[in-house]
């Protein structure tokens, strides 16, 4: 079968297109774990050397105490919440607050080391220790912060008594400094608060200013409470709006009646249907009734007499006299309607003018209300600020009368000479031990990373994924039980290990989404990476899953498959190709799996590449693929020979076995380059002898699967026995 006829997932570009740079912390961590013994050894040697060096230095004495700088003293609590920040005072009125941030702590330590604070200690002890001056005291004095608001003060010298007395004097000096600074802070805070109350634009002035503005506002606008006036005007607007609505209803009704009246008056009197307005007019109805009676008489007389008869002429004259009277009454009714309509329209305009005036006044009231609320708000703020500052001033005055020191010694006995302890030690022993340990750790880490880099090996599956885009089909854990030369029965004693190959075969099947994977080649970059073992275990797993599998030893240079499975290599692939032996006579059935068949390599030919590249070999591969569900070819390693590439070209692809902890990156990349140049179809990679931890979920599912298989096997045996 030609490669062009095989439709299977393959990867001909094994290198990643984009490689991300940067430090891989996971890879560094794994390297450090592998080289932990080397790191600990170097660290121990360097630390021991540092301690030995430190022990040669003279003995010194160390005294220390811890002092608590309270995060909030009374004056800081008082001044911290004032509306205007005390930190915004001028440079000549700046308030010193206790240290609360890193910068404040650094500033406090610098002040405690200044001549102004240490001068009292030097004056107190200078008569007893003439060599004690500011420079020598500062050189041996160390102040650090151990925790928030806690300072550790340490002094060292070769004189034990001097160390003790200096520490006692420092403790008292720092406590006195804290009390002095606290009182100065309180006095300064009182001055600031009093100034803010009494100054020209101070809080009292602000309160008086806004009280005057409120009085002027009420007097000018004749308003006491704008909100009440707004409610009153809104009520009037609502009342007038209702009246306007009622007036418009009457006007619309009147206009409708007037229109109906005009339409009816346009008709002849005798043809009118009867308007409600005219019907209610008694005078109009009398004239209309008289006209109708005359018309009735005219009709009766015209039936007997001619128009020249005096009777008919008299009736005509009466009717002619009544018609002007009827028209005059109609005009009077029309004028009455027009007058009432004009009156309603005028009332509507008058009401609208009143509503407009009230709305304008309401808008003005809204502006006045906003001004009133702003004045009230400013007055309230001014009153609150004044009351708050008055309370602050009172609290500060109470605090000023106190004489309690704001800072406290965490070991009060330090100020008592008989109870103070001084520790003697080599001045550099602990420091050198710590520095030596750190230096040794850095050197050990560097050496570990350097050695690991020079080794240039793959240790984890992640290392492989970083240099290739080929899919990782499976990770085979390290099994020491399989290190023996004959493994034909070992895999069945390791069910978890065998389950890995079930997963591997499943992953291979999933690759063939369009067509089934029917044949594949298994190879490795270098010899001894376990490719033959992987081929055997994969064949057994596929056979156990119901596939008819043929395992072919295509390594005609150093055949080992027959040794691993415990078969005889009397005749095999070489005989089938070169001596026209029927392949069915060369296969052997595996004793472990019913569906597994094996063709050994046979005798080593003088020119293996000639046999593998022959047409007979291609025809044989086509025939084997037709007769078996899966054909697995175990081939030589890639570097140096072309056997695997020749065979892979006529299969669904190659699986590359890589042994972790053995294969060098350069050799692996060289093998990938040769595969890319040859255009060999690639299915993926199998990482062998992995020391990585198996995920707990995988262990659980494997145990579950084994239990289920055991139950099914017992049930099957029971069915066979019963049958």
Concatenated DSSP letters of 136-183: HHHHTEEEEEEETTEEEEEEEES-HHHHHHHHHHHHHHHHHHHHHHHH
Q: 390-402 burial, b for 16+ CB within 10 Å, e for fewer?
A: eebbebbeebbee
| CA distances in angstroms from 267 to 15, 261, 322, listed in the order given | 106, 10, 17
Global confidence as pTM = 0.43
d(CA 567, CA 589): 10
Neighbours of 622 (CB within 10 A): 14
d(CA 521, CA 654): 5
CB 586 within 8 A of CB 576: yes
Query: 473 — phi, psi (to 5°)?
Result: -75, -30
d(CA 560, CA 634): 10
Which of 489, 509, 538 shows the shortest CA–CA distance to 686?
A: 538
Q: 530-562 burial, b for 16+ CB within 10 Å, e for fewer?
A: bbbbbbbbbbbbbbbbebebbbbbbbbbebbbb
d(CA 129, CA 340): 121
Q: In the prediction, which pLDDT does 240 show?
A: 92
Q: In the prediction, which pLDDT does 573 show?
A: 92
**Which run of H or of E encompasses 687?**
strand 682-690
Give the 3-state secondary structure of residue 441: helix
Q: Which residues of the chain have pLDDT under 50?
A: 1-8, 18-22, 72-75, 78-79, 82-99, 417-420, 484-485, 490-493, 696-723
Q: Tell me the β-bridge partners of 477.
A: 690
Which of 646, 562, 663, 654 shows the shortest CA–CA distance to 607?
A: 646
Q: Tokens 């912390």: give the residue.
A: 25
CATH architecture of 461-692: 3-Layer(aba) Sandwich (3.40)
CB 426 within 8 A of CB 173: no
CB 143 within 8 A of CB 105: no
d(CA 325, CA 290): 11
Which of 479, 489, 496 shows the shortest CA–CA distance to 706?
A: 496
d(CA 172, CA 165): 11
CB 301 within 8 A of CB 293: no
CB 73 within 8 A of CB 400: no
Q: Tokens 């909030």: give the residue.
A: 72
Domain limits, the chain: 36-200+402-429, 226-400, 461-692, 696-723
| CA distances in angstroms from 685 to 101, 642, 706, listed in the order given | 57, 19, 26
Give the 3-state secondary structure of residue 593: coil
Q: In the prediction, which pLDDT does 306 show?
A: 67
The packing angle between helices 531-544 and 495-511, to 10°, is: 80
Q: In the prediction, which pLDDT does 6 show?
A: 43
Q: In the prediction, which pLDDT does 259 show?
A: 82
């Amino acid at each position: 079968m030609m490669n062009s006829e095989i439709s299977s997932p393959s990867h001909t570009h094994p290198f990643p297109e984009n490689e991300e740079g940067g430090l891989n912390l996971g890879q560094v961590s794994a390297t450090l774990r592998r080289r932990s013994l080397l790191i600990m050894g170097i660290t121990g040697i360097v630390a021991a050397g540092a301690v030995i060096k430190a022990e040669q230095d003279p003995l010194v004495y160390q005294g220390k105490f811890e002092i608590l700088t309270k995060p909030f003293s009374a004056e800081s609590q008082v001044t911290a919440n004032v509306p205007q920040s005390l930190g915004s005072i001028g440079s000549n009125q700046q308030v010193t607050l206790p240290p609360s941030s890193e910068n404040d702590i650094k500033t406090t330590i610098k002040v405690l080391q200044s001549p102004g604070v240490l001068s009292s200690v030097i004056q107190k002890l200078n008569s007893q220790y003439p060599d004690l001056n500011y420079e020598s005291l500062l050189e041996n004095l160390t102040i650090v912060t151990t925790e928030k608001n806690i300072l550790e003060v340490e002094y060292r010298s070769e004189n034990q008594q001097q160390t003790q007395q200096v520490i006692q004097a420092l403790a008292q000096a720092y406590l006195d400094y804290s009390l002095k600074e606290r009182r100065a802070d309180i006095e300064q805070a009182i001055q600031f608060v009093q100034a803010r109350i009494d100054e020209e634009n101070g809080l009292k002035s602000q309160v008086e200013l806004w009280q005057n503005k409120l009085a002027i506002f009420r007097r000018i606008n004749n308003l006491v409470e704008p909100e009440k006036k707004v409610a009153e005007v809104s009520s009037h607007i609502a009342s007038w709006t209702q009246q306007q609505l009622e007036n418009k209803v009457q006007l619309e009704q009147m206009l409708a009646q007037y229109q109906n009246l005009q339409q009816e008056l346009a008709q002849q009197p005798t043809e009118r249907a009867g308007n409600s307005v005219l019907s209610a007019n008694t005078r109009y109805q009398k004239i209309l009734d008289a006209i109708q009676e005359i018309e009735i008489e005219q009709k009766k007389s015209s039936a007997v007499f001619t128009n020249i008869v005096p009777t008919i002429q008299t009736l005509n004259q009466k009717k002619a006299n009544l018609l002007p009277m009827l028209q005059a009454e109609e005009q009077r009714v029309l004028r009455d309607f027009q007058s009432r309509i004009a009156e309603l329209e005028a009332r509507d305009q008058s009401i609208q003018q009143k509503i407009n005036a009230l709305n304008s006044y309401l808008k003005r009231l809204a502006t006045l209300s906003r001004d009133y609320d702003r004045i009230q708000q400013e007055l309230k703020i001014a009153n609150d600020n004044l009351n708050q500052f008055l309370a602050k001033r009172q609290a500060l005055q109470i605090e000023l009368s106190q004489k309690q020191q704001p800072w406290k010694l965490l070991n009060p006995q330090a100020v008592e000479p008989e109870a103070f302890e001084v520790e003697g030690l080599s001045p550099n022993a602990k420091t050198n031990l710590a520095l030596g340990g750190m230096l040794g750790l850095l050197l050990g880490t560097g050496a570990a990373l350097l050695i690991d880099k020079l080794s240039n090996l793959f240790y984890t599956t992640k290392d492989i994924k970083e240099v290739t885009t080929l899919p990782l089909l499976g990770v085979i854990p390290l099994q020491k039980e399989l290190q023996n030369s004959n493994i034909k029965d070992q895999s069945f004693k390791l069910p978890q290990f065998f389950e890995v190959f079930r997963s591997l075969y499943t992953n291979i099947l999933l690759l063939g989404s369009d067509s089934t994977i029917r044949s594949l080649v298994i190879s490795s970059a270098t010899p001894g990476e376990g490719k033959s073992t992987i081929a055997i275990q994969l064949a057994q797993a596929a056979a156990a899953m119901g596939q008819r599998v043929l395992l072919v030893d295509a390594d005609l240079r150093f055949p080992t498959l027959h040794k691993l499975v415990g078969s005889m290599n009397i005749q095999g692939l070489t005989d089938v190709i070169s001596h026209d032996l029927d392949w069915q006579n060369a296969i052997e059935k595996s004793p472990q799996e019913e569906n597994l068949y094996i063709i050994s390599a046979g005798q080593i030919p003088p020119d293996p590449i000639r046999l593998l590249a022959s047409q007979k070999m291609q025809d044989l591969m086509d025939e084997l693929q037709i007769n078996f569900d899966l054909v697995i070819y175990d081939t030589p390693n890639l570097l140096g020979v072309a056997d695997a590439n020749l065979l892979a070209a006529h299969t669904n692809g190659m699986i590359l076995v890589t042994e972790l902890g053995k294969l060098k990156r350069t050799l692996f990349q060289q093998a990938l380059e040769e595969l890319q140049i040859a255009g060999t179809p690639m299915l993926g990679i199998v990482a062998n002898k992995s020391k990585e931890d198996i995920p707990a979920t995988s262990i659980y599912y494997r145990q579950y699967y084994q239990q289920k298989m055991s139950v099914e096997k017992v049930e099957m045996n029971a069915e066979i026995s019963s049958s």
